Amino acid sequence: MTLWVVDTSPLLFLAKLERLDLLRQGADSIYIPQAVWEEVRAKPDTAYIQIKRAVSVWLKVATVTNTEAVELLLADLDWGEAEAIVLAKTFKADYVLLDDLDARRFARRAGLKPVGTLGILLAARLRGEIPLIRLEIDRLQALGFRASTELIKAVLQEAGE
C-alpha cells in the first residue's frame, strides 16, 4: 500500500490544472495535514471546490499530534510544509509532495522522499497519461508556478520533449 502526504502548493496547482486525479494514480492513500486543509479553505475558489470534493471522497485530512516537531520546523518553513513533513514522518509515507526547495531539503534530511508538482506531472507523462508535459508546465507558469530553468530543462529532457 502506497501512502503520500501532500502540501498545499502541489495540491492547489494540480487542482488548478484539473489534474488532482494524478495523485490517485500513484498512491493508495493520500493525506493532507489539517494546516494544508486550512490554507486551502482560506481561499474558496475553483481549486478549493475540487479539493473539497476530493476530501469528501478520497483525500484524507489528518491532524498532526507531534506539535513540538511542527514548532521546530516553523522557524524555517510555513505551517503547511511543517505539518506535511511531520505527518509524512509519522505515517512513514512513501512520498511527501512539496514544491518549496527548503521544505524538500528538510524532508530529505528527515529521511523522507520529496516529490514536487513537476515530478507528479513527469510520472504521468512517462505513464502516457498526459501527451506533453511542456503544455502543463506552460499552464503552471501562467498560474504563478516557479521553477528554475535547469529543473524545467531536466524534466523536459526526462520526458523526451
List Cβ neighbours of 160 (8 Å cut-off, separation of 6 or more): none
- Predicted confidence (pLDDT) per residue in 20-49, tens digit: 999 988 889 999 999 999 999 998 899 999
Residue with cell 509524512: 88
How many CB atoms sit inside 10 A of residue 128's CB? 7
Stretch 82-92: mean pLDDT: 96
Q: Where are the domains of the chain?
A: 3-118, 119-158
- DSSP states of 7-76: -HHHHHHHHHTT-THHHHHH-SEEEEEHHHHHHHHTS-SHHHHHHHHHHHHTEEEE----HHHHHHHTTT
Question: Quick check: 100 and 8 in contact, CB under 8 A?
Answer: no
Residue 44: predicted pLDDT: 86
Average pLDDT over residues 58-66: 96
Give me the CATH topology for the region 3-118: Rossmann fold (3.40.50)
Confidence of residue 1 (pLDDT cuts 50, 70, 90): confident
How confident is residue 151, by pLDDT bands cut at 50, 70 and 90? Answer: very high
